[in-house]
Structure 1
Amino acid sequence: MGLIAMGANLDLIRATHEGSSEDNGRNLLAVLAPDATWTEAEGFPYAGTYVGPDAIVAGVFHRLGTEWIGYSGKVHTFMEDGDRVAAFGIYSGTYKATGESMTAHFAHLYEVRDGKIASMVQYVDTLLVNRPIVPDA
């Protein structure tokens, strides 16, 4: 494994968050490892671990894009520790079926291997995300 400049992993993750939704999606697909794992938190609407870019896009991003209006995850802080990068931010969006909106703080922990995202684990207050989906719960 070659040496990676300090900040390179952080820059790789930053490029998947700070552009338009289309740019972020394109940048993410370009840097997902073929066997990348993407773990949505237990209790999150799309909870589970998805393996590989196709499963990640279908299981998470397609659903976010079609079931929500204006869904976004705006990162305010990135931290890098070797091959791990943490991103902290706020989700927001309106659930189409109910017209109800939410905001919720999140953390994503990425592991980067050979310039590709090997894994992502999501941490979020799932109650806040689920309120607009099941407003009376």
Structure 2
Amino acid sequence: MATNLDLIRRTYEGTSEENGRNLLAVLSPDIEWTEAEGFPYAGTYVGVDALMQGVFKRLGSEWTGYHADVHSFIADGERVAAFGVYSGTYKATGKSMTAPFAHLYELRDGKIIRMRQYVDTVLVARALT
């Protein structure tokens, strides 16, 4: 049986398509996903459809080469943290960014029930204007 750390790793370490499939497979139907205040998609999204429409569809349509490159993971029971760097080019301005992030996941019975994003939003915002 896969550990919580294994489940989260699989959402980052493959191709974009693999990561997306792996994420969908481990999201609780009533996921609570919080994007940091000051981030372009700030707020809490409840449910898979709200998350896909409010965050991932927009990332795919508004950015070129958007990527979350994780360099470290920490697992503590039902919580897993991922630390890394976002990168990408905002289509509307043509400006690129790189910004450090942390994602804190809470899992129950092999499903992500909560995620909270921490990110240097100033570095992201510079690409938007």
TM bin, normalised by shorter chain, reads over 0.9
Question: Unaligned 5+ residue runs, structure 2?
Answer: none
* 1:74-109 Cα shifts (integer Å, max 9, x gaps): 000000000000000000000001100000000000
CA distance in 1, matches of 2:73, 2:105: 11
Q: Which amino acid aligns with 1:111?
A: E
Residue 18 in 1 paired to residue 18 in 2? Answer: no
**Identity value in percent:** 72
Residue 119 of structure 1 corresponds to which residue in structure 2?
114
* TM-score scaled by length of structure 1: 0.92
Secondary structure, in 3 states, of the residue corresponding to 2:112? strand
Residue 85 in 1 paired to residue 85 in 2? Answer: no
* CA RMSD across the alignment: 1.0
Question: Unaligned 5+ residue runs, structure 1?
Answer: none
Residue 31 of structure 2 corresponds to which residue in structure 1?
36
Q: How many residues align?
A: 129
**Equivalent residue in structure 2 for 1:103, among 60, 81, 98:** 98
Residue 50 in 1 paired to residue 45 in 2? Answer: yes
Residue 66 in 1 paired to residue 61 in 2? Answer: yes
Following TM superposition, the consecutive aligned residue runs of length 4 or more in structure 1 with deviations greater than 6 angstroms are none
Larger radius of gyration: 1
